[in-house]
Amino acid sequence: MTTVIDGKQAAASVVAAVKAAAERLETEAGRRPGLAVVIVGDDPASHAYVNSKSKMAKQCGFKSVQHTLPEATSQEELMALVAELNADPDIDGILVQLPLPKHLNSEAVIQSILPEKDVDGLHVVNAGKLATGDLDTGLVSCTPAGAMILVRQIHGADLSGLNALVIGRSNLFGKPMAQLLLNANATVTIAHSRSRDLAGIARSADILVAAVGRAEMVKADWVKPGATVIDVGINRVPAPEKGEGRNKLVGDVDFAQCAPVAAAISPVPGGVGPMTIAMLMANTVIAAYRAAG
């Protein structure tokens, strides 16, 4: 029988541990973790993500602040807000929701966040620590950190001898995911839109991680029998079966086709998605403990 990996349950355990740690911090140091989430513009999907991040932060007992800025915000205004949050001792974590409107330089904004408050793990200091195998003093990007917990549920902490494939090479996911798998001793391949024979490469993967952003692209004949499949895609597609004009969420993996071939597979929704938000809370509580000394 194929194991359908339950990301909601795994996320709930992380959140329970975060809540307990936040309570302990309040008792011992007299302060709560503080998370600031910044969103620029009107993208409805981004607003939905940001609202759930702010809500979860409150549920964890954090100080939670949300800054909603208009589409026309200038680079200087956004950087000034980041500078203010950097200097605020009540704020331990700063998340600037991506993508930013096109006129803004995302990279400059991200690099202006203090590395110790960069709960997205995107600052070069944090990315560099991960790349050099320092998993103890930096902050790791939330979605790969969460996906890695799901991989460990199936395979344990040591992936020696296993072939892992990450499809996707973004700074937010593909690159850090590959680094985490490598740190766990997997033999890692990174594939992307310019790779040749993706299906062939995929068929040799014991752990197949898909983050391409193309609905149900990974088909049954891409999956090695008995593999673990981690689906990082979130794609909204028409769902006429639910009624006229209705949508549904699907991953980058064709679940119905691939589930019978895999030994373990994460669904969409309910797989990696809930882990991302849980790991954001975990990163914030870690940053708060470090700030408290």
The residues carrying an active-site annotation are 53, 97, 120
Q: Does 97 bind ligand GUN (CB under 6 A)?
A: yes
Residue appearing with tokens 């793990």:
121
CA atoms within 13 A on the CB side of 178: 18
* Number of chain positions touching ligand GUN (CB under 6 A): 9
| Burial class of residue 4 (count of CB atoms within 10 Å of its CB; 0-12, 13-18, 19+) | middle
* Smallest gap from residue 110 Cβ to ligand GUN (A): 8
Among 66, 73, 126, 143, binds ligand GUN (CB under 6 A): 143
Query: Of 92, 116, 118, 120, which lies in the binding site for ligand GUN, with binding defined by CB under 6 A?
Result: 120
Counting contacts by CB under 6 A, is residue 118 touching ligand GUN? no
Judged by beta carbon, residue 150 or residue 172, the one nearer ligand GUN is 172
Kind and range of the H or E run holding 191: strand 187-191
Closest by Cα among 155, 158, 174 to 263: 155
CB of 95 to ligand GUN, least distance (A): 5
What's CA 120's distance to the chain center, in Å?
8
When asked if residue 18 is in the footprint of ligand GUN (CB under 6 A), the reply is no
Does residue 228 touch ligand GUN according to CB under 6 A? Answer: no
109 binds ligand GUN (CB under 6 A): no
Contact indicator for 267, 4 with CB cutoff of 8 Å: yes
Of residues 145-204, those binding ligand GUN (CB under 6 A): 172
By DSSP bridging, strand 247-250 and strand 235-238 are antiparallel
Which residues form the interface with ligand GUN (CB under 6 A)? 95-98, 120, 142-143, 172, 276
